[in-house]
Amino acid sequence: MMKIINVSKSYKSTRALVDFTYEFGVGIYAILGPNGSGKSTLMNIITGNLAPDGGSVCFSQSEDAPQRPKIGYVPQQAAMYPYFTVYEMLDYVAVLNGVDKRREHIEALMQAFDISSSRDKRIRSLSGGTRQRLAIAQGFIGLPEIVILDEPTAGLDPLQRILFKNAVKKMSTDMTVIIATHIVSDVEDIADEVLFLDKGRIVKAGKLQTLLSEFDTYCWRLPKGAVYDGLTRIDGEDVRAIAPQKPIEGAVPVAATLEDYYLKIFGGER
Ligand code: ADP
């Protein structure tokens, strides 16, 4: 679907993206990294809003799809017309994209992203969470081949985050969805592939299940009250440690999660 080959971008002396190479097919891809790791720069290059200094973004073309694929883009701060209602905004984007059977399509999207009850409200009067769900919904108008979501859950409460994940999973059966975020739980249950980005470089990437199974031997549950000064995180009532070998007596190996992996990559000395 899309190949990114040796893409680099600098802003003066800051190297925002360094030799980024990856191939994207149908599925949900998570780009995970802390603030400043180059995620937005990558998203802007894929959408054509920003020119890279070098490298290329190639889209596969076939007889069925001879043109550049359609890309739905939800930037961190989506600009939307404040006096449009929710329905008018979606309808406007649908017209621009030449969508057939607009009413049906918009109803389905509003339902998927839980904004039907706000359909006649003007955008300027929406709560932050509803506004963000509208911004996400408009990225899926016309079911483009590629949808790019940059920090999509900012402003969503815990329930809305769960609904967001359900809706994206449901929508993404035949498209490439790329979610850039530093919030691991937003992609944990839905990503097919994960790319960890640090200082503009991919530090680890692959299928989520493969990454996690490789990492299983690194995760330990510590005995209650144990003292350990290595890499740890609290998980409910337990404390988990990330260590290549049994960190202390009584530690029990446990299945790895994406949160553990993130901690391993970004939690140590950098
Ligand atoms: P992320 O989306 O992961 O937070 P960005 O792509 O926004 O990362 O930024 C990557 C690096 O490039 C950061 O060091 C950031 O400060 C820098 N950067 C981004 N945009 C600009 C810009 N327009 N001018 C100068 N530096 C920038």
What residue ranges do the domains of the chain occupy?
211-266
Asked whether 49 lines ligand 1 (CB < 6 A), one says no
- Contacts with 5 (C-beta within 8 Å, 6 or more apart), sequence order: 21, 55, 56, 57, 58
Inter-residue contact 198 to 266 (CB < 8 Å): yes
- The terminus-to-terminus CA distance of the chain in angstroms comes to 34
Tokens of 20: 């980024």
Residue nearest to atom 25 of ligand 1 (CA): 11
Asked whether 38 lines ligand 1 (CB < 6 A), one says yes
pLDDT for res 65: 60
Q: How far apart are CA 40 and CA 17, in angstroms?
A: 10
User: pLDDT per residue over 114-125, tens digit each?
Assistant: 999 999 999 999
pLDDT for res 189: 87
Q: Which of 78-82, 145-149, 226-230, 264-268 has the largest mean confidence?
A: 145-149
Name the residue among 201, 182, 194 with its Cα closest to residue 38.
Answer: 201
Residue nearest to atom 12 of ligand 1 (CA): 16
Asked whether 181 lines ligand 1 (CB < 6 A), one says no
Catalytic site includes residue 151? yes
| pLDDT category of residue 270 using cuts at 50, 70 and 90 | very low
Q: Judge whether residue 43 has pLDDT over 80.
A: yes
User: pLDDT per residue over 212-249, tens digit each?
Assistant: 888 878 899 999 988 899 999 898 888 999 998 999 99
In the reported structure, the alpha carbon of residue 150 is separated from the centroid of ligand 1 by a whole-number distance in angstroms of: 13
User: pLDDT per residue over 158-179, tens digit each?
Assistant: 888 998 899 899 888 889 999 9
Residue nearest to atom 13 of ligand 1 (CA): 36
Q: How far apart are CA 235 and CA 258, in angstroms?
A: 13
Which of 7, 9, 14 for a ligand 1 pocket mutation test, highest count of atoms within 8 Å of Cβ? 14
pLDDT for res 141: 95
Residue nearest to atom 22 of ligand 1 (CA): 11
